[in-house]
Structure 1
């Protein structure tokens, strides 16, 4: 078993544990590379079928290529897709910095979707190496009644022993690729030939390393137009993955405030 096999096996184990434990379960599908790897892993875990709905919080500001990708692969993969429109910016905390406030629309949409579907748990495709606040996460992460996350009070997870029994009313976020790195993701995409939104590949000397809304996500300078070239680029870079996300350049505590309030 090589490194990617080991990563895959652990993620499949986590997904099966989640499905076994929670009756009302959903998976976030942001259409990004991590999210598509997560859906791919779910299809592997359950013999080609995703046995829970995929959830999409629509800001109305995604790139056209993302909406086209969603339409094509929702049909091709045969998934049940739940779409919830995000509330207007006027309903979001005005004390947040502009880009963070815009991103927080997804938090509110997700909370409402969870309440509408009465979901016990939601699977999300975050990774510890992606951002400092996410490095504090657990694989099975308890949330308050309104999806609040207390990063100072998280259950220990030693030797892949995950706590899955929580008090009634506790909402759970499950992170099956938390232990992966950005390079792991791309090497797995290469091995498995996982389809991606075309914006990840260079066009006219620029490509997107991380995808979000059009108005708060920016491309990087890059000539990498194939997976092999992207992997070589990442092996040499010292620039942070989310450098093209506007909210990551705002107030130091902005992202932590988002995560504490229930952001993906």
Structure 2
């Protein structure tokens, strides 16, 4: 087995373990490269069928290509696709793009609060109806007891403190000092009732690992990751008003892999173009303590 085979094998094992141990879990899909690789791994883990609902938190400010890519793959791969959002904040126009909030405050509402209330069933969920080719209000409001997330330890500082199976309290709040040890590939999955669990199958993957796996497996990616002739592309995807591309002429997966191998971005954080990270002092620890992805 080569390096990618070993990473793939561990991630598939964790996905199967999560599905086996937790009764009502979902998988977050941001439509970015990491969560799309995770989705691909889930298709492998369960032989082409993903038996876990996919949840997307739609801030309504996502770059339009992301939503198109989400719905295209949802149809092609027959995914159980669900989205949630902070409808009250959006209706009131209390967002950063409307000039009412800071980046962090906006993320706190449109991402963190929307995620928590979508997972616990307090707010509306919208499920894709494959027969009607449209999203409909979901009558199922049962809370998800666990969520599978495409976080990587090398992406930013707070993620390096996660475990493969990382417990939160019933409100999704994260106590960083109370994390179970994970020695010799032994994972704790027997948590107290009411514990909400985050599962991280990609925790030990690097940015280069992800792109080399995309290259090997030929995984379809949203076009925003590639230069469209402007000499720019995105390394990390988020809301359009708060995410900046990097200078790059890489227009294919092969070129992205080659570019990363040159070390061009070695001293530049992968999320350097995300405004909320800079406002939070270069990390997302406070947002993540409160439930952010």
Q: Which bin holds the TM-score, normalised by the shorter protein?
A: over 0.9
On the 8 A contact 1:55/1:82 being kept in 2, the answer is yes
Which position in structure 2 is the counterpart of 1:247? 276
Secondary structure at the counterpart of residue 201 of structure 2: coil
Secondary structure at the counterpart of residue 8 of structure 1: helix
Show structure 1 runs of 4+ deviating over 4 A: 89-92
Q: Output the CA distance in 1 between the equivalents of 2:247 and 2:66.
A: 21
Which position in structure 2 is the counterpart of 1:72? 72
On the 8 A contact 1:208/1:219 being kept in 2, the answer is yes
How far is 1:23 from its partner? 1.2
- TM-score, normalised to structure 1's length? 0.95
Q: Output the CA distance in 2 between the equivalents of 1:61 and 1:245.
A: 14
- TM-score, normalised to structure 2's length? 0.86
Secondary structure at the counterpart of residue 197 of structure 2: strand
Matched, 1:167 2:196: no
Q: 2:289 aligns with which of 245, 252, 260?
A: 260
Q: 2:106 aligns with which of 102, 107, 110?
A: 102
Residues 24-63 of structure 1: matches in 2 within 5 Å? 24-63=24-63
- The number of equivalent residue pairs is 260
Deviates more, 1:193-202 or 1:223-232: 223-232
Identify unmatched segments of 5+ residues in structure 1: none
Residues 193-208 of structure 1: matches in 2 within 5 Å? 193-203=218-228, 204-208=230-234
Give the aligned CA root-mean-square deviation in angstroms.
Answer: 1.5
Identify unmatched segments of 5+ residues in structure 2: 96-100, 122-141
Q: Output the CA distance in 2 between the equivalents of 1:67 and 1:120.
A: 26
Secondary structure at the counterpart of residue 113 of structure 2: helix
Bigger share in helix: 1
Which position in structure 1 is the counterpart of 2:119? 114
Q: Output the CA distance in 1 between the equivalents of 2:223 and 2:217.
A: 17
Secondary structure at the counterpart of residue 152 of structure 1: coil
The one-character-per-residue Cα deviations of 1:120-146 (angstroms, maximum 9, x if unpaired) are 100000000000111000010000111
On the 8 A contact 1:100/1:255 being kept in 2, the answer is no
How far is 1:64 from its partner? 1.1
On the 8 A contact 2:151/2:200 being kept in 1, the answer is yes
Which position in structure 1 is the counterpart of 2:133? none
Q: Output the CA distance in 1 between the equivalents of 2:84 and 2:44.
A: 27
Q: Output the CA distance in 2 between the equivalents of 1:227 and 1:68.
A: 20
CA pair 209-254 structure 1, distance change in 2 beyond 3 A: closer
How far is 1:188 from its partner? 0.1
Which position in structure 2 is the counterpart of 1:84? 84
Secondary structure at the counterpart of residue 65 of structure 2: helix
The one-character-per-residue Cα deviations of 1:44-75 (angstroms, maximum 9, x if unpaired) are 00000000100011100011111110111000
Residues 81-230 of structure 1: matches in 2 within 5 Å? 81-87=81-87, 88=89, 98-104=102-108, 105-116=110-121, 117-203=142-228, 204-230=230-256
On the 8 A contact 1:126/1:175 being kept in 2, the answer is yes
Matched, 1:2 2:2: yes
How far is 1:86 from its partner? 2.4
